[in-house]
């Protein structure tokens, strides 16, 4: 057996691919691309169909990352899952507080920040409101003492205290796991420092978002153009044509949903950068198509910009900003000196001009 072909259905193909990798040719096919004629469909018929396509070289192999890149991508996806679980727990705490007529979120920007957690811990320890307010570490939050008293209309009962404390304990455990993954990702990204610096130069991209994007893209040289990269990850609209009419719909959502999610987060951050060219692009599209379309369009634009920068190994610079790629030779020249009339006439003659003396009275 020289080749093995299989469908990339779920995660069933991963253990088979891991065992056979390196010993023979393994072709992983997208099920969407090898659909058989509808009718009698069994596992045996599908296997024969796959074998026939593989023998005739009719399967376009799916893009499989090297082992090191697969490990990096699995870590970023695991971190994404933990972050979403942490967000669900935060929302649950908000609901538990709201059911007890406690509206801290209307007074404190982030109840899981330093001051917010101080107030929340005080409520869980059944301390008085005045004692909690007097011991708040932030003087800015202390100024809203009256609003804090109004937002806390009731005390927490024993069952609500248990539920909130359980959620906080789970959040602490999840945060420890996230910190462990972050430390591991920082060690693994040491081999991609140049690409990481390029990604971090784009407005809206931070370390974790840059790491996630690079892990999901893998080897960006596999794509011939930024349009192909955007199409591979489904950030392009559906296009249908009938006669001379061309219709575009919503994005295709093909490829990695994890990259689309992080690119939308990056687009939201970039749209808030005051004075940025990316923000102006977002505002221009939003005025015509709405906020949702503008965010997706900005996400696609950032992805295409990142592709160009990575291919050329250049840092992002704001378009229109003054930049100098090499020293100006004029700065190295001596200061100009004044020439006499005879010297200027000699320069003109050496340049091929004819100099004649004209009587000014004759000209008048």
Burial class (CB in 10 A: 0-12, 13-18, 19+), 220: middle
Q: Answer whether residue 328 shows pLDDT above 90.
A: no
The pLDDT value given to residue 205: 95
Distance of CA 126 to the CA centre of its chain: 42
Query: Are the beta carbons of 214 and 271 closer than 8 angstroms?
Result: no
pLDDT band, residue 359 (cuts 50/70/90) = low
d(CA 342, CA 84): 82
The pLDDT value given to residue 105: 82
The pLDDT value given to residue 275: 87
The pLDDT value given to residue 310: 96
The pLDDT value given to residue 364: 47
pLDDT in tens, 211-221: 999 999 999 99
pLDDT band, residue 360 (cuts 50/70/90) = low
The pLDDT value given to residue 53: 92
Counting residues of the chain whose pLDDT is more than 70, the rounded percentage is 93
pTM, entire model = 0.78
- 324-329: average pLDDT: 51
- 31-47: average pLDDT: 82
Which of 72-86, 234-248, 325-339, 343-357 tops mean pLDDT? Answer: 72-86
- 102-114: average pLDDT: 86
Element (H, E) at 110: none
For 279, other C-beta atoms within 10 Å of its C-beta total 17
Query: Are the beta carbons of 25 and 2 closer than 8 angstroms?
Result: yes
Q: Are strands 237-242 and 245-251 parallel, antiparallel or unpaired?
A: antiparallel
When comparing pLDDT for 177 and 135, which is higher? Answer: 177
Q: Answer whether residue 333 shows pLDDT above 70.
A: no
């Amino acid at each position: 057996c020289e080749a093995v072909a299989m469908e990339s259905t779920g995660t069933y193909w991963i253990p088979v691919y891991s065992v056979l990798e390196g010993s023979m040719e393994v072709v992983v096919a997208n099920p969407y691309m090898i659909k058989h004629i509808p009718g009698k469909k069994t596992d045996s018929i599908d296997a024969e169909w796959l074998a026939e396509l593989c023998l005739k070289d009719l399967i376009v192999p799916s893009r499989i990352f090297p082992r090191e890149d697969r490990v990096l991508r699995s870590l970023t996806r695991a971190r994404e899952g933990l972050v979403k679980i942490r967000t669900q727990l935060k929302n649950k705490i908000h609901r538990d507080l709201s059911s007890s007529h406690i509206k801290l979120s209307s007074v404190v920007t982030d109840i899981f920040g330093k001051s917010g957690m101080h107030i929340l811990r005080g409520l869980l320890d059944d301390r008085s409101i005045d004692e909690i307010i007097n011991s708040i570490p932030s003087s800015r939050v202390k100024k809203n003492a009256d609003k804090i008293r109004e937002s806390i209309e009731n005390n927490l009962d024993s069952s609500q205290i248990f539920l909130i404390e359980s959620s906080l304990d789970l959040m602490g455990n999840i945060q420890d796991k996230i910190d462990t993954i972050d430390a591991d990702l920082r060690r693994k990204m040491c081999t991609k420092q140049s690409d990481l610096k390029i990604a971090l130069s784009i407005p809206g991209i931070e370390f974790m978002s840059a790491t996630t994007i690079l892990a999901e893209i893998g080897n960006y040289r596999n794509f011939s153009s930024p349009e192909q990269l955007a199409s591979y990850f489904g950030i392009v609209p559906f296009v249908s044509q009938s006669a001379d009419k061309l219709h575009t719909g919503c994005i295709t959502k093909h490829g990695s949903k994890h990259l689309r999610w992080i690119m939308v987060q990056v687009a939201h951050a970039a749209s808030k950068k005051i004075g940025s060219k990316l923000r102006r692009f977002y505002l221009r599209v939003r005025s015509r198509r709405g906020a949702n379309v503008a965010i997706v369009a900005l996400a696609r634009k950032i992805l295409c910009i990142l592709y160009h920068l990575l291919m050329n190994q250049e840092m992002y610079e704001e378009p229109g900003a003054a930049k100098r790629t090499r020293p100006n030779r004029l700065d190295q020249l001596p200061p100009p000196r004044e020439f006499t009339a005879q010297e200027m006439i000699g320069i003109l003659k050496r340049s091929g001009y004819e100099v004649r003396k004209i009587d000014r009275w004759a000209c008048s």
